[in-house]
């Protein structure tokens, strides 16, 4: 379906054309004075300069041509030359009916589906998930769902951080604690045990401990480096141990992501890209793109227009060791081979922006990726506490994701129980859904790149621009629909036509509804789930105003009543679709 704003624009453009002006002056925008009109066109002001006429004269000519059109209720030329537009009830009603019968409420699937890899989540093996990983998971999941909704072929990859010194640190620490393990016995010939010799809690304690210890004990760090080296070169016992570490860690991560309603198509690891490194390095050297600088292998990525410092992209350290960069470049090579992506989106903390600029430039400049591949760095801001500093636990430690979720769960549970009695099981289930909505909406309603304050009281409130408010609105519509069925004994028929709006609040509701496809297209184009949040917030507000202004169920005119039921059924479907795109769902009641 066409966007409603395009339908309106096209008609105004045609009128400009008929009056002898360039069509493009007819472009329409949403009104910035909603008290006066719904849409506006400022084209006459611009045309005035080109055609050397008074803007109001042009505006009047255009408006005159359109006076007979059924699209408009009011179309007025206003000094000095604005055109103020209010669309007719009939036009709006027709558009809404079309949305109701169209597939996906008029959001069209793309005619040229793109293959897009989304690199998000980015957890690290054996390190606990913290709130920084939360943002990547929440944003990436929504960006993925939006792209997929529009018909793109999207591959979500967790890109697990499993490569680096952390591996050697864990192995070294395990060796210190449990030297009797067969993995450390070079002469061991049999099968390694199937069970991991540690639990996830142990593992999560081991890494920070080892990391701390290594800072003040150089010989320990040396040992860890050596263990990393041996592992990377296929030491049998270490490899077996590493597989246990991966399995335990991945099982735990999957559980965590499942609780967040986040699902990856791929569980690729940094280590999977290593096999691509030798050929890649060879290519970079042979093609002359890489040069040696103080023993290290680097690629220059500075461009003339750079105003900030742009260090070269390092491929190999002087001791031959690979880096985070090397792995990311090799991962591009791997993705190219496996998926031939049209685009890759990296959902990563915005503090890594310079790094990604280097890596992107390096990939393009050296031809590791074709220049047409769209590389996007979707950098997100920091989640802060109320003090404006990165979110911490009460005693100042790093807040673990699980604990944060429990905290929000408890808060919501208390609220639900203080409102009404309900079986504990149901309350828990509702609390889980509402808490997830609170967390995700609290995050996604901000522009991705902005820092935001995690304010548990505000996020969990049932009023204001919050997830729970959206869910509350959905549940309210559902209960009206249930009541309608109960009272009338009728099922809600899909094909009941929605009548043109008969009040201001109904018009306002339809106007909000009508902006859906434009919203989703923009959210996709800009990787901006916050657009979807803004849309459903406006829609929920418009619905609640309409609800308070009209007695839907007890409306005497049955035709009007059924039309309203049809309208709110549409609103219900749209709200549910949108929250699914944001990655959460509504309970049956709350």
- In whole angstroms, the minimum distance from the beta carbon of 352 to ligand ARG comes to 7
| Interaction site with ligand ARG (CB under 6 A) | 119, 122, 124, 159, 161, 328, 346, 348
Q: Quick check: 75 and 85 in contact, CB under 8 A?
A: yes
Q: State which residue, 159 or 515, has the beta carbon closest to ligand ARG.
A: 159
Q: Which two tokens stand for residue 288?
A: 């002359």
| Torsion angle of C-alpha atoms 69, 72, 73, 79, degrees rounded to 10 | -100
- In whole angstroms, the minimum distance from the beta carbon of 200 to ligand ARG comes to 18
- In whole angstroms, the minimum distance from the beta carbon of 351 to ligand ARG comes to 9
Q: State which residue, 159 or 476, has the beta carbon closest to ligand ARG.
A: 159
> CA 478, 482, 487: angle at the middle one, nearest 5?
145
Residues in the chain: 590
- In whole angstroms, the minimum distance from the beta carbon of 159 to ligand ARG comes to 5
User: DSSP 3-state assignment of 177?
Assistant: helix
Specify the pairing of strand 296-299 against strand 290-293: antiparallel
Tokens 């909603």 correspond to 34
Tokens 């569980």 correspond to 267
Q: Which residues pair with 124 in a beta bridge?
A: 161
- In whole angstroms, the minimum distance from the beta carbon of 528 to ligand ARG comes to 20
CB-neighbour burial class of residue 112 (10 A; exposed 0-12, middle 13-18, buried 19+)? exposed
Q: State which residue, 11 or 157, has the beta carbon closest to ligand ARG.
A: 157
Q: State which residue, 152 or 159, has the beta carbon closest to ligand ARG.
A: 159
Q: Quick check: 200 and 192 in contact, CB under 8 A?
A: no
- In whole angstroms, the minimum distance from the beta carbon of 430 to ligand ARG comes to 33
d(CA 148, CA 25): 35
Q: State which residue, 314 or 437, has the beta carbon closest to ligand ARG.
A: 314
Q: State which residue, 119 or 538, has the beta carbon closest to ligand ARG.
A: 119
Q: State which residue, 159 or 531, has the beta carbon closest to ligand ARG.
A: 159
- In whole angstroms, the minimum distance from the beta carbon of 459 to ligand ARG comes to 24
Give, for 534, the enclosing helix (H) or strand (E): helix 529-549
Q: Which residues pair with 390 in a beta bridge?
A: 384
User: DSSP 3-state assignment of 47?
Assistant: helix
Answer positive or negative: Cα dihedral of 324, 330, 334, 336. positive
Q: State which residue, 183 or 346, has the beta carbon closest to ligand ARG.
A: 346
- In whole angstroms, the minimum distance from the beta carbon of 268 to ligand ARG comes to 10
Position with the least CB separation from ligand ARG:
122
d(CA 422, CA 567): 31
């Amino acid at each position: 379906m066409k966007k409603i704003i395009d339908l309106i624009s096209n008609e105004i453009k045609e009128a400009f054309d008929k009056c002898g002006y360039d069509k493009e002056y007819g472009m329409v925008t949403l009104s910035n004075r909603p008290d006066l009109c719904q849409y506006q066109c400022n084209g006459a002001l611009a045309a005035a300069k080109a055609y050397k006429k008074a803007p109001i004269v042009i505006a009047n000519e255009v408006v005159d041509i359109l006076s007979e059109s059924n699209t408009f209720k009011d179309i007025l030329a206003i000094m000095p030359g604005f055109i103020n537009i209010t669309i007719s009830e009939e036009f709006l009603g027709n558009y809404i009916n079309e949305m109701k019968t169209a597939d996906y409420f008029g959001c069209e699937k793309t005619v040229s589906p793109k293959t897009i890899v989304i690199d998000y989540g980015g957890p690290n093996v054996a390190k606990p998930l913290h709130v920084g990983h939360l943002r990547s998971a929440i944003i990436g999941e929504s960006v993925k769902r939006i792209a997929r909704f529009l018909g793109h072929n999207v591959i979500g990859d967790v890109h697990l951080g499993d490569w680096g010194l952390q591996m050697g640190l864990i192995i070294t620490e395990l060796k210190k604690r449990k030297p009797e393990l067969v993995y450390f016995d070079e002469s061991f010939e049999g099968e390694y045990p199937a069970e991991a010799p540690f639990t996830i809690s142990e593992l999560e304690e081991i890494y920070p401990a080892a990391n701390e210890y290594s800072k003040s004990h150089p010989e320990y760090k040396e040992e860890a480096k050596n263990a990393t080296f041996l592992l990377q070169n296929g030491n049998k016992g270490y490899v077996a141990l590493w597989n246990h570490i991966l399995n335990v860690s991945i099982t735990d991560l999957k559980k965590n992501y499942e609780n967040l309603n986040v699902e990856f198509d791929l569980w690729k690891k940094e280590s999977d890209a290593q096999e691509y490194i030798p050929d890649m390095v060879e290519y970079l050297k042979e093609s002359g793109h890489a040069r040696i600088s103080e023993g290290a292998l680097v690629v220059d990525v500075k461009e003339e227009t750079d105003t900030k410092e742009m260090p070269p992209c390092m491929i190999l350290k002087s001791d031959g060791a690979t880096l985070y960069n090397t792995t990311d470049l090799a991962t591009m090579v791997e993705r190219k081979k496996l998926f031939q992506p049209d685009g890759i989106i990296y959902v990563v903390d915005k503090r890594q922006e310079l790094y990604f600029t280097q890596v992107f430039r390096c990939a393009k400049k050296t031809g590791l990726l074709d220049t047409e591949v769209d590389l996007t760095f979707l950098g997100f801001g920091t989640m802060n506490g109320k003090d404006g500093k990165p979110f911490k636990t009460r005693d100042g430690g790093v807040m673990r994701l699980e604990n944060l979720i429990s905290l929000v769960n408890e808060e919501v549970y208390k609220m639900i129980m203080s409102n009404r009695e309900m079986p504990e099981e149901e309350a828990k289930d509702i609390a889980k859904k509402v808490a997830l909505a609170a967390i995700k909406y609290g995050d996604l309603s901000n522009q991705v790149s902005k820092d935001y304050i995690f304010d548990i009281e505000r996020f969990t409130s049932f009023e204001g621009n919050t997830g729970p408010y959206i869910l509350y609105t959905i549940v309210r519509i559902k209960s009206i629909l249930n009541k309608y069925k109960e009272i009338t004994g009728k099922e809600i028929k899909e094909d009941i036509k929605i009548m043109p709006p008969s009040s201001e609040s109904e018009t306002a509701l339809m106007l909000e509804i009508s902006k859906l496809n434009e919203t989703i297209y923009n959210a996709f184009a800009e990787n901006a789930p916050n657009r979807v949040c803004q849309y459903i917030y406006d829609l929920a507000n418009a619905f609640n105003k309409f609800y308070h202004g009209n007695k839907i169920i007890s409306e005497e005119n049955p035709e009007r009543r059924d039309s309203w039921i049809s309208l709110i059924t549409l609103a219900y479907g749209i709200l549910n679709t949108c929250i699914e795109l944001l990655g959460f769902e509504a309970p049956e009641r709350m």
